[in-house]
Structure 1
Amino acid sequence: MTTQTTTPGTRTATAPGERSSLLRLYLTRGILAVAWAVAFAGAHEDVDAVAITLLVVYPLIDAVSSFLDLRAAPDGPERRVTLFNGVLSTVAAIAVGIAGAGGVQPVLHVFGAWAVLSGVAQVVVGIRRRGPELGKQWPMLIAGGLSVLVGAFYNIQAAGDDPSLDVLSVYATGGGVFFIVQAALLGWTSRRLRTGSV
């Protein structure tokens, strides 16, 4: 059985299995982001092998999440954007690994560019999923918008006199929290749909 949504600009049907799959994906993605932030906060004083490894891992988490998301995404623009984000994050992981050899500034530039583009992709997918059956997607829309702004800030900071990687832990923590909140909203929505209150 599928549920219908009539919100302009969104898909017309959402399967319960898709909602359950997204809930697990968002929750796992959020927990991994927060765990990454904690690990990176204590390991980036120097851009050494450990720091570079963690820098590569973060966009890879996003890439894997995007490719897993493809299993739930229907054919159409949403699926294409999700695939684009998976490829983008894979390229970002490779680029940030290379940039790590140049120090803080190139890392921030790469992370900033990735944050802007992936934030735009997240907003587009969030708009496609903003119907009530998928929890309105406000956390994802806000997180995507903030990612664009923060990414631009990273590039400005990278061009300044005292760039720092401290901001990346804050970025990952914020993103992780938004994913966890979205998972909670999906769980609440599922319960309401089961009881027929939506």
Structure 2
Amino acid sequence: MANNTSSSRTDAGALVRYYLLRAVVAAAWVAAAFAIGVANPVAAGILLVLYPAWDAFANARDAQANGGVRANIPQALNTAVSAAVALGVLAALRIDPRLVLVLFGVWAVLAGLLQLAIGVRRWRTYGAQWAMVLSGAQSALAGGFFIKSAAAPAMPAIAVVAPYAAFGAFYFLVSAILLAVTTRRRGATA
């Protein structure tokens, strides 16, 4: 029994580190978006491609670290969707900037629903996943806002997407803290 408890604490520790990394990268992306992206269309374009590309990479690593792609279908799907969106955004930047918001909207809905599924599944194993579940639900709702915003873009896409990314950073940070506290408490009672 001690090995199972120790193993689940180790897995939870890896998940805490993953959530912290996601929070830091998202926060850095938001800072770059506001510092250089809003004033420089080329930088904004690069950042808008990098955001879903990073998400694809992070989901692929998460799936591999937790039993592989076959054992983690939501992460595998999220990887594929995020990679496709990164490529789509790259193309959309040349075609029509409003299309970028539509792609981000569709991505936010799909990625949010997949994150919701991952959060619910991990809740059973680790607990302390309510922030991930809430983040997934909010992401799905934000997707609708992005699509609606594309009809009449009042501001550049980067300025619309950056607050969304900021909420993502916040939710990953909260999830890391909650999971660390929960794991520590479980370790103290074991």
The TM-score with structure 1 as length reference comes to: 0.85
The number of equivalent residue pairs is 186
Distance 2:101 2:36 in 1: 16
Normalised TM-score (structure 2)? 0.89
Say if 1:150 and 1:158 are closer, same or farther in 2 by CA, change over 3 A.
same
CA shift, 1:73, in A, is: 2.7
How well do the aligned residues superpose, as a CA RMSD in angstroms?
2.1
Q: Which residue does 1:144 correspond to in 2?
A: 136
Equivalent residues of 1:78, 1:125 under 8 A apart: no
Aligned pair partner of 1:158 in 121, 146, 150: 150
| 1:99 maps onto 2:89 in alignment | no
**Which one has the bigger helix percentage?**
2
After superposition, residues 12-23 of structure 1 pair within 5 angstroms as 15-23=8-16
> How many Å apart are 1:127 and its aligned residue?
0.8
Q: Deviations over 1:118-142 (max 9, x none)?
A: 00100011111113x5242111001
1:194 aligns to 2:187 (yes or no) = yes
> Per-residue deviation at 1:153?
0.8
Give, in angstroms, the shift of residue 49 of structure 1: 2.3
Note if 1:124 corresponds to 2:117.
yes
Partner of 1:10: none
Distance 2:115 2:141 in 1: 13
Structure 1 65/170 Cα, relative in aligned 2: closer, same or farther at 3 Å?
A: same
Distance 1:157 1:78 in 2: 36
Q: Distance in 2 between matches of 1:18 and 1:78?
A: 15
In structure 2, runs of 5+ residues without a counterpart are: none
Equivalence for 1:2:
4
For each residue in 1:70-104, what CA deviation from the matched residue of structure 2 results, as whole angstroms up to 9, or x when unmatched? Answer: 13334798601111111111111111111112343
CA gap 1:161/1:100 in 2 versus in 1, 3 angstroms: closer
1:18–1:72 Cα contact (<8 Å) kept: no
Structure 1 unaligned runs (5+)? 4-13
Mapped partners of 1:134, 1:2: distance in 2: 13
Contact kept? 1:104, 1:163, Cα under 8 Å: no
Listed one character per residue, the Cα deviations across residues 11-48 of structure 1 (whole Å, up to 9, x for unaligned) are xxx72222111111110001110110110113334673
For 1:11-160, list aligned pairs within 5 A: 15-45=8-38, 48-74=41-67, 79-131=72-124, 134-160=126-152
Correspondence for 1:8: none
* Sequence identity (%): 33
Match of 1:169 in 2: 162
